[in-house]
Amino acid sequence: MGYELINANTFEELSSWPETTDPQAGWQDGGGVHAIVTDPPYGVIEFMEENVEKMRQGSGGVWRIPPSLDGSQRNPVPRFTVLTEEDKQMLQDYFEKLGELAYKVLRPGGHIFIASTQLLMHYVSKGFDEAGLERRDVLVRETKTLRGGDRPKGAHDHPEYSMVSSMPRVYWEPWLLYRKPFDTKLVENLETWQTGGLRRESEDRPFTDLLEDGKTGKREREITAAANPESEDSHPNVKPQSLMRELCHAALPLKQGVILDPFMGSGSTVAAAEAIGYDSVGIELDDSYYEMAKQSIPRFAEISTPIEQREDIRKTKAAEESTSLSDFS
């Protein structure tokens, strides 16, 4: 199948999908998806039309433009500390609704890998718990950001506070790991639904919850900027291919099935799945990001990372190639 891209609101789109009831059916016909790997908007707020507009104009809203370093332009980042109590409740309700839809479209035992932030991950968890999903872990993606670590506002007038920061500088990103429950043994679920476990890196090494330094490369940003002829801005939240390929690889324990990214953005999850030989579906609401993803995915997929050098992935690619060659024999 490869990949399929849908330009729609995820909540409306997934509401129209059938319940997952039949392990033999395709994902559109009640067979469900095997995993969800996604980086959602946090949302509700930062990707509301008015805030996207402010971000595009480089002024205000919930977006903060970090200072440029060494002359290089920084991407805007959301300022989550501006959320009110009402915003936080809205966030929890949002993730509960997302959790319910994920529950509906996932196969039993299907995993969800969802990017989060230190300040808001408990709202995602509360929503997902309410939706009946099972918490499995919090993955730590090492990534040095410019968030946090600031001195108190006005501290330049108070030399006695020069050694104070209001918050830690953020050097890691949490990815919550959830699973749709199943009521048989893992081996039985694997046999029926091909889900329930995580794929190991190799026979000797399991998938681990510490994801090594995962900075988004300049190359990924440039690809999205080139796919945005209007402003040449990159997508504000592009995730690196090395990270996304690691997660997609772990998401399909038997290397069989379909990965869904309900908040596709520039398409980094879909491209990662494509690069390691997995099928995927991406959904994006914003028309220009959807167009950006269409162009960026083939280019992201060409990026070379150490992940696809692993024996397990080389075997998938080799099997794929021999199948496509046999189509001509």
Ligand X SMILES: C[S@@+](CC[C@H](N)C(=O)[O-])C[C@H]1O[C@@H](n2cnc3c(N)ncnc32)[C@H](O)[C@@H]1O
List residues binding ligand X (CB under 6 A): 9-11, 39, 41, 47, 235, 237-239, 263, 265-266, 268, 283-286, 289
Provide, rounded to whole angstroms, the least separation between the CB of residue 65 and ligand X. Answer: 17
- For 309, the token pair is 């050098």
* Minimal distance, residue 132 CB to ligand X, in Å: 21
Nearest distance, CB of residue 225 and ligand X, angstroms: 12
Complex with ligand X: residue 190 or 275, whichever CB lies closer:
275
User: Pairing relation of β-strands 210-211 and 172-179?
Assistant: unpaired
Alpha-carbon distance of 31 to 27, in angstroms, equals 5
C-beta closer to ligand X: residue 244 or 313 = 244
Q: Which is nearer to ligand X, 10 or 92 (CB)?
A: 10
CB of 275 or CB of 285, closer to ligand X: 285
CB of 56 to ligand X, least distance (A): 12
Residue nearest to ligand X (CB): 265
d(CA 42, CA 147): 16
**Looking at beta carbons only, is 14 or 252 nearer to ligand X?**
14
Residue type, position 291, single letter: E
Cα separation of 85 and 92, whole Å?
Answer: 11
Q: How far is the CB of 237 from ligand X (least distance, A)?
A: 4
**Helix %, strand %, coil % of the chain (to 5):** 40, 15, 45
In the sheet where 33-38 sits, what is the strand order? Answer: 3-7, 279-284, 258-261, 33-38, 106-115, 172-179, 134-142, 210-211
Find tokens 């849908």 and name the residue: 6
The least distance separating ligand X from the CB of residue 284, rounded to whole angstroms, comes to 5
With respect to ligand X, which residue has the nearer C-beta, 41 or 196?
41
